[in-house]
Amino acid sequence: MSVIRAAIDAGVRHVYYTSGVRADDERFAINADHRGTEQALITSGLDFTILRNTWYIENYIQAMAGPRHTGVLAAAVGGAVVAAASRRDLGEALATIVATDGHDNVTYSLSGDTDFSYGDIAAAMSVVLRPEVAYTPVSSDHLRAILTGSGMGAKMAGFLVGLDETIAAGVYSRVGDDLTRLIGRPTTSPFDGLTAM
């Protein structure tokens, strides 16, 4: 909130804020900070544009470390789907908004065109890593045990398990076509995003 006050004091006319997808949904604690910031911005009197970004495809690059050695993508997301998008897609959307008119006091929900399962993500990893990667759903407790058993600290393991639980709840599933409309093309699929690395 201090940044918003500083912007007002500095005479800033328009704030572009990168938020999180479904930030207005109180069921998802992961977006609580975004939700509060959005409300502060909306009531500040400043012109604003809010971009609620989805899960980044690039998040799966680090997630390939385990499957590279085991051939298994273990996650506590069940059968959840993710409409991930690349940082390039999201950056293009922001550039379009900044360079064109008609975006004052608008909130955009930015997600990929298609919902992908973790089986789909594993298939994309298979092409990158060779050999084949299989998705294995596990419980939150099992995932925590896997992570701490590999030497990860309990705090980081808990954070990663919490992310999987958020994905399992559906927060990163598709929310519409705002992103495609802004960039003027289909969004990058996880398959294309990972195989291009």
Strand positions, DSSP E, the chain: 14-20, 47-53, 72-75, 81-82, 106-110, 116-117, 134-137
Query: Are 179 and 93 spatial neighbours (Cβ–Cβ below 8 Å)?
Result: yes
In this prediction, residue 29 carries a pLDDT of: 84
In this prediction, residue 197 carries a pLDDT of: 67
Residue ranges in the chain modelled with pLDDT below 50 = none
Q: 173 — phi, psi (to 5°)?
A: -75, 170
Q: Give the separation between CA 59 and CA 197, rounded to whole angstroms.
A: 12
**Per-residue pLDDT reduced to its tens digit, 79-129:** 999 999 999 999 999 999 999 999 999 999 999 999 999 999 999 999 999
Burial 91-110 (b: 16+ CB within 10 A, else e): ebbbeebeeeeebeeebbbb
Domains identified in the chain, total number: 1
Return the half-sphere exposure (C-beta side, CA atoms, 13 A cut-off) of residue 170: 4
In this prediction, residue 41 carries a pLDDT of: 95
Domain extent for 64 = 2-195
Q: What's the pTM value of the predicted model, to 2 decimals?
A: 0.91
CATH number for 133: 3.40.50.720
Length reported for the chain: 197
In this prediction, residue 191 carries a pLDDT of: 86
